[in-house]
Amino acid sequence: MFTSLRELYKKAENDDTAIGAFNTNDLEVTQAIVSAAEKTGLPAIIQTTPSAIEYAGLRELFDIVKDLIDESKIPMLIHLDHAKKIDLIAKCLEMGYRSVMFDGSDLLYENNVSETKKVVDLAHKYGACVEAEVGVVGRGEEGREKILAKYSDPDQAADFVKLTGVDSLAVSVGNIHGAPENEKLDIELLKKIRGLVSVPLVLHGASGVTRPDIAAAIKNGIRKINIDTQLRHAFKESIEKHINDSGKDIRNFLSDAKDDVESVVMKDLKLFNGVR
């Protein structure tokens, strides 16, 4: 059942939970996400990045996700993740996306504001939600010192939301892309941001965050949590485990990998919604 992100955010805020947002590149991972949502009865967001679209094709990937969502009774939607080019965002909105992220975090702050505002003005004409980012969610290979320098500033985050009119905000509070070891959230910083920012907050780079930190983040305003690396690892490890089994063909390999991805998504959906 294709739903509105605004409705999911409203419910998450009322329930003090977070929406699980999972990246896909193909049919099997999409099937795994939808199946996990159906088995848990919990809503989910299915995300596609620009690189996933380049790999699979915009219409092809959109149709796979949209068809599977439409066939399900669980509220779900498709989201464009980490788009840096407005022309791609425009194509996705025209295709039927009703949730997009413009990632201007690499730009100077003033340019991030102006470009994000352009995306907001465009997307809101379609009734779509816009997510943006203040600060930079780092990558594990950058090292701790560089990542610390990119944490979100609470006052700047509040100013950014006011100037752009975004519907949600991705923040950098110790979350790191790539699931590195010893990933630790700065919950006190998150509290300060939450105290100044009224829109839902989003946690990228959450694959390596501990369960206690996830719970604390949700308690302090995180309403959408992105998961990608966990799914990639589950899929790859499943293929590697069975690849030398001469009794299986490619459909068996993919089916096993799909089941392992589904297990990861189910576990995360329950965690984000406080379900045991």
For residue 81, indicate whether it is catalytic: yes
- Gap between the Cα atoms of 56 and 257, Å rounded: 18
DSSP 81-92: EEE--HHHHHHH
End-to-end CA separation in angstroms for the chain: 25
For residue 206, the 8-state DSSP code is -
Catalytic one among 16, 63, 70, 81?
81
CA 185 to CA 142: how far, in whole Å?
17
Determine phi and psi for 62, rounding to 5 degrees. Answer: -60, -45
| Residue tagged 């329930």 (tokens) | 15
- What b/e string do you get for 40-66 counting C-beta neighbours within 10 Å, with b at 16 or more? bebbbbbbbbbebbeebebeebbebbb
Query: Do the beta carbons of residue 125 and residue 154 sit within 8 Å?
Result: no
CA–CA distance, 40 with 111 (Å, rounded to integer): 41
The stretches of the chain forming alpha helices (DSSP H) are 5-15, 27-40, 50-56, 58-70, 86-95, 109-125, 144-148, 154-164, 187-196, 211-219, 229-242, 250-272
Q: Which residues are catalytic?
A: 81
